[in-house]
Chains A and B, each alone.
Chain A
Amino acid sequence: MSGQLWTFLIRRSVGAIFFVAIVSIAALVLVRLAPGDATTELALAHADRATIEAARARFGLDRPVLAQVGEWLIGLGRLDLGQSSLYSRPVADLVLERGLRTAYLGALALFVATAIGLPLGVVTGSRPHGVAAAIVTPISIALVACPPIVGVLALLLLAATTGWLSTAPGAVLVPTLALSLPLAATLERLQSQATAETLAAPDVAAAAARGVPPARLVWIHAARQSLRPVLGVYGIVIGTLFSGSLAVETITAWPGIGRLMYDALVGRDLFLVAGCALVGAVLIALGNVIADLIRAVADPRIREQL
């Protein structure tokens, strides 16, 4: 790896640490300032004053917000994210376990979408009037209009009527397909347009005039150039996958960070919300750094901007 890339990596990592810290602290403060707290249910159950006070003290709710943020940050240094009031478990264990499940699902969906979308995009972009394009394009347009929340319900309907797909909690096929199909279709559309534009460029025509065979022209010359704008989109895809997985995880009972975050928010589980935000922010920052790195490797011009 060149020195340039190392400087880039270090700079981005420092930025990522700030990003993660701001997101987690914002989540902590937001929940602290929100009406109601983890002891609201105790109060509703008419628990006596001493019990409620004890519970508030246990979760640090009797302390000023800033002091609590400071303590949380010190705890973070020891990888101690506090105790969950909902699950009575250390938050660190819980969010690590769930975060890995979400990361696994997202990475799998991203891989499937790339493996399907990019090659098909090159095919349809290079032969817009061919048989493949006539089949792929309409399917692709329909799938782009199938966001994960719609896709997952359609797949569950398919499972319910035919029994082809497993709907057991933890079954990986339905959530992966629901997340990856619209993404694959989007990547196909983008790669298709980029390929068509690149093939019309003068340098490709010059290569064709020199006698470069068509297959090499499409898959080597044009693919490398057209890949660059499409790779630029990958950083954004990370956020999209996260948003989509919130719906998909909830509907398919996939034990990821999405449902946990929802439960934590509604239950006003202060440290659990902060922990979920922390893990989510780490995953997003990591995804973005990797996406930029791939882009920098593929495009020397990006390396200079970094």
Chain B
Amino acid sequence: MTTPGRVGLGILGLLAAMALLAPVIAPNDPSDQFSDRAYAPPSRIRIRDAAGFRAPFIYKHVLEDRVLRLYREDPASPVALRWFAGGRLVSTASESPLLLFGADALGRDLFSRLVFGARLSLGVVLLGTIGAIVLGTLIGGMAGGLGGSVEAVLMRVADFVLVLPGAYLILALRGVLPQVMSASEVFGLMAALFAVAAWPHVARGVRAIVAVERVRDYAEAARAAGAGPIRLVRHLLPAARGFLAVEIVLLVPALLIAEATVSYLGLGFPEPDASWGTMLQDASNVRVMAEAPWMLAPAAALFLVVLGVQLLGSTRASATVLRLGDTRFPLTAATARR
């Protein structure tokens, strides 16, 4: 593996670990609203005070001006960091919360929301990717294996969906469904919509591979031994493994951006659950950006995921892009053609 590839894998691994271990890593509950902490700046972890070095601690933030939202660190009240207290890696007493990335408009801990948001954002995208791979392999395998009019119709449909801009397709399908839903309903629905929007990318490639493989000698031998069309396709599909691996790498960032866009527009996860897209909604105001730039942390997280995927799969993916004419990677959603 190349050095950029290792860096990419490292970034993705770290983010995945963050999502998996969210309850341990987050210093606070993601929906706790701390009073007098609206847009509070990030806590600075210190290891020395006037007297010299000591165990890591923070100074308590004091709200000086409620209107201008001016905060001041109070050197008279140091707060020690607690390690492994209450099942959390690091935290502080709740009257002076540890806010690693500052707080949002409601005084909630942005870092904790980001960590828990990774669960929703990455989780829904992974489920959607798996859905698209399964659906695409089924349809592509069927088209390639059966051929004839079935193939013609299925590939017509795939081409049609491919030309539509993914973000609009998902927006339109989500938009016509009821707007008020519980978080778990939204999770399932979004994953399903992602699969519906993304399967043609997979199906096209699988069909092409199956069409090439079915005239090979081993396929002929399987047919001679009495394999029916379904059994035959099962023999042919392993040839598509490499392609599917690249597809996963291509789909994850595309769907992540789609999630962010749809959630940003207000059709994603409902309050108080946080996904990265929902969190960005609160950050997009220029005044908020100037006063509380830490609100853009979810955008940085999106950047890191796309960068990680890009470093991990760049050479292989851009070769695929040129061969199949597929530029989803690493842009939002797009279309692949002949």
Give A contacts to B, CB under 8 Å.
19, 22-23, 27, 30-31, 33-36, 141-142, 144-150, 153-154, 156-157, 159-161, 167, 182-183, 186, 189-190, 193-194, 229-230, 232-233, 235-237, 239-240, 242-244, 246-247, 250-251, 261-262, 265-266, 273, 277, 280, 284, 288
Query: Can you list 22 pairs linking A and B with CB atoms under 8 Å apart?
Result: A22-B160, A27-B172, A145-B306, A146-B306, A150-B299, A153-B289, A153-B296, A156-B289, A159-B286, A160-B286, A161-B289, A161-B290, A186-B327, A233-B321, A233-B327, A239-B335, A243-B167, A246-B261, A261-B168, A265-B172, A265-B175, A284-B164
Q: How far is the CB of B244 from chain A (nearest CB, A)?
A: 20
Contacts A149-B257, A157-B293, A236-B336; A242 near B299 (Cβ below 8 A): no
Q: Is the CB of A157 within 8 A of B289?
A: yes
Contacts A167-B286, A189-B318, A262-B171; A247 near B264 (Cβ below 8 A): yes
| CB-based nearest B residue for A287 | B163
A-B CB proximity, top 6 nearest: A265-B175, A34-B176, A242-B165, A243-B167, A145-B307, A243-B332
Q: CA separation between A156 and B302, bound complex, in Å?
A: 16
Contact with A along B128-166 (1 / 0, CB 8 A): 000000000000000000000000000000001011111
Q: Does B103 contact A (CB under 8 A)?
A: no
**Which of these, B253, B302, B334, contacts A236 with CB under 8 Å?**
B334
Q: CA separation between A168 and B260, bound complex, in Å?
A: 24
Contacts A167-B286, A233-B327; A153 near B166 (Cβ below 8 A): no
**Which of these, B175, B293, B321, contacts A262 with CB under 8 Å?**
B175
Contacts A233-B327, A250-B265; A147 near B160 (Cβ below 8 A): no
Tell me the interface secondary structure of chain B in the complex.
helix
Residues of chain B with a CB closer than 8 A to A189's CB = 314, 318
| CB-based nearest A residue for B280 | A153
Q: Is the CB of B322 within 8 A of A194?
A: yes
Contacts A22-B160, A147-B257, A147-B302; A242 near B168 (Cβ below 8 A): yes
Excluding A145-B303, A157-B296, A236-B326, 9 further A-B contacts by CB distance (< 8 Å) are A141-B310, A144-B310, A182-B330, A193-B318, A233-B327, A243-B332, A246-B168, A247-B264, A261-B168
Q: How far is the CB of A23 from chain B (nearest CB, A)?
A: 7
Q: Does B283 contact A (CB under 8 A)?
A: yes
Q: Does B179 contact A (CB under 8 A)?
A: yes
Q: Does B17 contact A (CB under 8 A)?
A: no
Residues of chain A with a CB closer than 8 A to B172's CB = 27, 30, 261, 265, 273, 277
Residues of chain B with a CB closer than 8 A to A154's CB = 296, 299
Q: How far is the CB of A215 from chain B (nearest CB, A)?
A: 24
